[in-house]
Amino acid sequence: MCIFCQIVSGELPAYKVYEDDKTLAFLDIYPVNPGHTLVIPKTHYQDLEDIPETELANLIMVVKKVGKLLKDKLGAAGHNVTENNGAVAGQIVPHFHFHVIPRHAGDGHEPWIRGKYQPGEADEIIKKLIRQSAE
């Protein structure tokens, strides 16, 4: 049983921010900023491709509620919503989840490093994406 399933079952403690019959939101134990919250489905799904669309829709509504809580109750100026899909993308716990990270002016956290396409690279990428999506 994964660590998030153990939290859902009550085997492990968590600082719960929100809970309903399908969803649990709790503080990340390694926060980027104080209030960093994880929003998970109570049912175990490994990643974005695994979770049914109806449950994903419910989950994103809870992400929205948590974001509002961070702004209203913690005074966050904004928040990042992220989802790391697969180990190579930084997913540490193989249980689908969103991170809702409160942001404040000057907090020093950059969401990602931006790059540029090399000449012709975007054309090659779009050809592959369009060809694959049409198949």
Residues belonging to the active site: 97
Beta strands in 11-127 (DSSP E): 16-19, 23-27, 37-41, 78-82, 98-103
Phi-psi domain of 96 (left: phi exceeds 0; alpha: psi -120 through 50; beta: other): beta
Tokens of 11: 């085997």
